[in-house]
Amino acid sequence: MKVSRRNFLGGMTGFAATLWSLRPIALNTPHSRPERDLDCILLDLNSHCALPESLQGYRAALAGEHNHLPETSLNSRHRCRIAIVPGVGRMDPAVAWTLSGLLESGAHVLLESGAGFLSPSEFTVHQEMLYRHFDIAVDRPVDLWPGKSADDAPLTHRPGRRPSEQLDGRESIPYVNYVWPRETKVRDFSRVIPVSAREGDVIGQVGALPVALKRRTAKGTLIFLGSPLGPALRAGDSEALSWLRLVTAL
């Protein structure tokens, strides 16, 4: 069953939102000195964001305690503790290289894939971009809704699956089970992007299907989410909010 963004978000309503404050931010402007570090960058990919609702979710959850940047404003002069990139569809190579530079300088970079809402040709570009710039190997989206257990996913998932194909197994509400930074369950009513565990640690699974990982670089940490967290944040999902709070406090 194909799930539209509207149906996806409709299934996420009804949660009570809770907000928190991050540590104080040393704000920067395009004309400020480069030695002034940022605390948290929320990068807006504009037309390259495949899931604008996800960006809205992060903005609401962070409650303004972040520096919102359009992709055209990100450059090598920016330094930060954590950079969050919601709903990634495509990414300009210059932005990808700058994010790689942030990782090498010691920042945490959270990349959230929005590829579940891309066309097949757009997904191929997304897949190649992740591999070329971040050494992340992903497979085609897998439908989770209506809910199917993913316990048998390694047997049923094959390269080249179409986004409309569903996981086999008994019917259930799909959850992403995060094991880092602590055990957390977050509902997912849409599609997930399977990610290779060839390098890095798997930190999130739907059943046995790996959908999130983290990998240490020389100084920083790359966090990849193959299941969009932003729409759950937009709906005020307490578990999603708790998970993001832990990550942004690292």
| pLDDT tens per residue across span 83-108 | 999 999 999 898 899 899 899 989 99
Half-sphere exposure of 83 (CA within 13 A, CB side): 30
Total domain count, the chain: 1
Residue 81 lies in a domain: yes
Q: What is the pLDDT of residue 17?
A: 29
Distance, in Å, from the CA atom of 176 to the CA atom of 150, rounded to the nearest integer, reads 10
Average pLDDT over residues 175-184: 96
Residue 176 lies in a domain: yes
Provide the residue range defining the domain that includes 166: 5-11+38-248
Residue 193 lies in a domain: yes
* Residue partners of 162: CB distance under 8 A and separation at least 6: 120, 140
Provide the residue type at 161 as one letter.
R
Residue 232 lies in a domain: yes
Residue 205 lies in a domain: yes
75-113 as b/e, with b when 16 or more CB fall inside 10 Å? eeebbbbbbbbbbbbbbeeebbebbbebbebebbbbbbb
Distance, in Å, from the CA atom of 158 to the CA atom of 140, rounded to the nearest integer, reads 9
Distance, in Å, from the CA atom of 250 to the CA atom of 243, rounded to the nearest integer, reads 11
Residue 75 lies in a domain: yes
Residue 4 CA, chain-centre distance (Å), reads: 18
Q: How many CB atoms lie within 10 A of CB 223?
A: 23
Distance, in Å, from the CA atom of 220 to the CA atom of 241, rounded to the nearest integer, reads 23
pLDDT in tens, 45-68: 998 999 999 999 999 999 876 677
Residue 91 lies in a domain: yes
CB 124 within 8 A of CB 115: no
Provide the residue type at 85 as one letter.
V
Pick from 181-185, 215-219, 231-235: least confident: 215-219
Residue 105 lies in a domain: yes
pLDDT in tens, 137-177: 999 999 887 544 444 343 233 333 333 344 444 446 789 99
Q: What's the CATH code of the domain at 173? A: 3.40.50.880
| 52-62 and 238-248 helices, crossing angle to 10° | 70
